[in-house]
Amino acid sequence: MGRVVIAGGTGFLGQNLAKHLTELGWEVVVISRHGSGDHARWQHAVWDGRTVGDWVRNLDGATALVNLAGRTVDCIKTPAHCDEILRSRVESTEVLGRALRSVKTLPRVWVQMSTAHIYGDPPEVVCDEDSAYGWGLAPFVAREWEQAFAHAVSLLPMRQVILRTSFVLGKNGGALRRLGKLVRFGLGGTVAHGRQGISWIHERDMDRLFERAIANELMHGPYIATAPNPVSNAEFMREMRSALRVPIGLPAAAWMLRLTVPLLLRSDPDLALLGRYCVSRRLQEERFEFLYPDVRSALQNLYNS
């Protein structure tokens, strides 16, 4: 087995993936802006996400590059934050493209993170890979991110996979950790009208999908990384309460979230008030088998096993 380089690999998904790949016998190098942490099982290289530097040598002869770098969107959308959300994704992708042009032996595949939010927030339409892109900040950022990727990888003889990822459900990271706390406090009721879609994927299926994108020569182009059964907010919250065995969940009206989420959680209420229903036609056609295809089995596994 060869080497996988994970740019932006110090976060929730990157650490999960590094663990998963090293357990399978891959050599892993994580690239980030900070020190190494304490991981004996994988190596670490430092970059600034903008300029080519010594970190580039890790790409030479690697089997795969996985790019996850990007400032979290779980914040108040001030102009400065919006700028950083965009720039951290576009500039890091661009510099990876420049770096690859200087190595002797290219990785065989570049797996690029993107977001299912590229399809916007349609209230009812079920989106697949062929759906039109949506309107708003997140679809704009996603399009710029994917365009930067297309430009960065153009003319390089390497396989390209884009994972337009939905809400990744993990016990120890991502937005579910915070949501779990709210549910335990009895605040896990339906949000607003509750019909907004939640497209989601269990963290283990996410790792398996990354692994497949790295190893399966037939995977190419954009895929929506999402389980086949998106649910409404009302159903998701009901399954959360059931998995956490909390009988009561106070519902939250839209105005309550608009008032409290920026103040108390320093986040963006639209992340809960809006949503989307996505499925992956391509993963279905390619018969990717999800370990957790429905939200009940996913949440029960995370909280009760």
Ligand X SMILES: NC(=O)c1ccc[n+]([C@@H]2O[C@H](COP(=O)([O-])OP(=O)(O)OC[C@H]3O[C@@H](n4cnc5c(N)ncnc54)[C@H](OP(=O)(O)O)[C@@H]3O)[C@@H](O)[C@H]2O)c1
List residues binding ligand X (CB under 6 A). Answer: 8-14, 32-34, 49, 68-73, 84, 88, 92, 113, 115, 165, 167-168, 174
Q: 150 or 256: whose CB is closer to ligand X?
A: 150
- Round to whole Å and give the CA distance between 180 and 205: 20
CA angle 84, 256, 137 (to 5 degrees): 25
Any idea which residue has 């989420």 for tokens? Answer: 261
191 vs 225, beta carbon nearer ligand X: 225
Q: CB of residue 253 vs ligand X: minimum separation in angstroms?
A: 25
Query: Considering the complex, what minimum distance in angstroms separates the CB of residue 255 from ligand X?
Result: 26
Shortest Cβ 117–ligand X spacing (Å): 7
* Vertex 41: Cα angle to 66 and 70 (nearest 5): 30
Do 280 and 119 touch, CB atoms closer than 8 A? no
Nearest-angstrom CA–CA distance, 289 and 298: 14
> Of the two residues 49 and 134, which places its CB atom closer to ligand X in the complex?
49
Query: Smaller CB distance to ligand X: residue 11 or 120?
Result: 11
Look up residue 61 and give its DSSP letter.
Answer: T
Which residue has its beta carbon closest to ligand X?
A: 11
Q: Which residue reads 């996988």 in tokens? A: 4
Minimal distance, residue 291 CB to ligand X, in Å: 17
Kindly state the smallest distance separating residue 104's Cβ from ligand X, in Å. 25
Nearer to ligand X, 218 or 240 (CB): 240
How many C-beta atoms lie closer than 10 Å to residue 209's C-beta? 23
Q: How far apart are CA 73 and CA 299, in angstroms?
A: 23
By beta-carbon proximity to ligand X, the closer residue of 168 and 278 is 168
Using CA atoms, how far apart are residues 10 and 253, in angstroms rounded to an integer? 35
Q: How far is the CB of 259 from ligand X (least distance, A)?
A: 25
